[in-house]
Structure 1
Amino acid sequence: MKATRQLHDLGQSLWLDNITRTLLDDGTLARYIEEDSITGLTSNPSIFDAAISGGDAYDAGIHAKSLMGMQGEALFTELALEDLRRAADLFQPVFESTGHVDGWVSMEVSPLLAADTAGSIAAARHIHHKGRRDNLFVKIPGTPEGVPAIEEAIFLGIPINVTLLFSCAQYEAVSEAYMRGIERRLQAGLDPRVGSVASLFISRWDVASNKQLPDELHNKLGIAVGQQTYRAYRQMLASARWQKLADAGAMPQRLLWASTGTKDPDASDTLYISAFAAPETINTMPEKTLHAFADHGELHGVMDVDGGDADAVLARISAAGVDIDQLALTLQREGAEAFVKSWHHLLDGIAEKARQLAGKSDGAVLK
């Protein structure tokens, strides 16, 4: 049995951290669903930037929409939602068979809104309306300004994938926001079943800290933070507050492991897949990591619900000079900045392609 199937049977959802039109057109995504137990996917501005700039698969769509007068963010949103609707339809059977727990795709609000609560809420409503798929998450970053936007979006019945979480404290803040949104829905007599996941980024911790740490602590920080957060997640699910919401019909906001591709060439290419084997969670992985785990991945047990040795490892890393709390804030800020950079590059690239395609079209007409 493939290791991917073993994780699936354990109760963990495996999602693809990628989407391209080519993956849809050539049947690759359908094959991942059939052969590798993939049951959802995530996207972000960097992924779409690479997909659109990396070939000509989007050229016809860019040209047609430009002729209709679309440009900038509106043009990109239409391109992205075309792909995500198709992906959502592929995942619709698992979405229905799991009672809407699994089978989701994700579309991010503009990263320019990371510090704009009202703007994030408005963007989430717009994407939710334009998406026209029940299994489409809107991604909102778990920044201080994003937390109230997440609560309000949940209250409005918009399924939310909380992105750019780096610490247990950041996770706990958005978990609280999710529960407040559900509690408000119940008070208003609304259906409490609103899907949500909370995405904790892993590998960037180790990229940032390895250079400060002795060899024996390399690639330990991300896993320890994940273990600590998993403990908080299990404690939340066992809490009286959550049980009351669950009894009323609410769905848990599942914990999602993000940024799980190994960045250290000296480490296992399946490090963050084996380490985060846990039921009732999601691991979203790049294609390269999916291929590696399907080929030679191994399970080494299930995550400890009590956090394992996380506290001891974090103490050793702190003693080695890493300010973990400050690093969490830095990683979230830098992650938001990186998405802004990709966003500008993405929109500039679409605009340039539109100009080039319009020139070629004019030339053809002149001939």
Structure 2
Amino acid sequence: MKLILIIAYILQISCSKALDFKVMLSQMDQHHLGQTFLNALQIGLTAGSPVHEIQSYLNNIRFMLQQEQKDSDIFIQSTQLKCQRLLHDFSTNYAYHSSQLLANQKIVQENTENLQRALNKIAEVSVEIEQNILKTNAGQSERDLQYIEFQSTLKDHNEAISAIDEAYALIEHLANGLSFIQLKGRFNKVINRLTSQSQGITHLFQPIINMMSQLASNTDDSKKLLLLLSGLKVQIVENSNQNKDLEQEASLNWQSFLNDLINEKNTLSDQRQNLEQAILNYQSIIQESSEKSQYHQIEFMKNKENVENQDIWCRQQQDLYSIDSQSRNEALQLISNIVDHIQDKIVTLKEYLRERHQIK
């Protein structure tokens, strides 16, 4: 840079039209750098160096500047290629991690929503399963009570039919000629048996009980009594058969309804199991994608910073290259101007330097 300033100073004084050349040399001699340059020229002239050596000296400077420019051109080309490669790599990584960050954030959001829906749904399914169990238990309890009632009624009917058969046999014996005295013990037993029937049937036996109680004094009603017993037995058998049919129908209806409840529960249980597995999957995906998001967030910021810093550095290198190139070009132009003018001024320069030497 000092050399450039010297050359610029020489060009200024050599090209000026306003001042005398000796006056300019005198002004230059007042500057430290100018003194250094003039001393070098004076030594060269004292040693008898011809003008072409001074020109050669300037040409060497010009060659040095040109070589520096070539080296700078090579360096900036290499730097530009390096910048292009690094910026491309950083930008590619930046774009990749940016897209991956957005993609994983979207996955987290979508699966979080899916998880919430699955949790809400599994709560609904669990309520439906509880309701299914309650309906099954309530229905089974009602069915059990119905069956117990049926068994009790069937037992009453069988007992009543058995009592009727026994009474019928006794009255037949009486009608066939046996005396009431012979059958009295069995009559009392049968009457007690008929009297002890369930309340639902006792009222049916009351007329028969009354007639059997009068057989001791009047056996003429035995045939009529047999007809009543036969009719009552038929009525009880019909009622019993109707109850059996109703019981069978109720049993089939309950079994069908129970099968529906079982199928419904199995479907709900499968649905809940699938939801439980889905919830585990959603939670796993959310955790994995969250971890990936954190990783890509870090890499995204790192590569973003790399792109910005690398771009700044590359611009700085380009600016430095431009500034240095401009300075070298200006220096080369100065040297060219000096070489052009030095022939015209060399005589005046020698005279000034000789006078300068005499003064010192």
Q: Please classify the TM superposition score into its range, dividing by the shorter chain length.
A: under 0.3
Which structure shows the bigger proportion of residues in strand conformation? 1
**Higher relative contact order, chain-length normalized (CA < 8 Å, sep 6+):** 2
TM-score (ref. length: structure 1): 0.17
Higher gyration radius (CA): 2
TM-score (ref. length: structure 2): 0.18
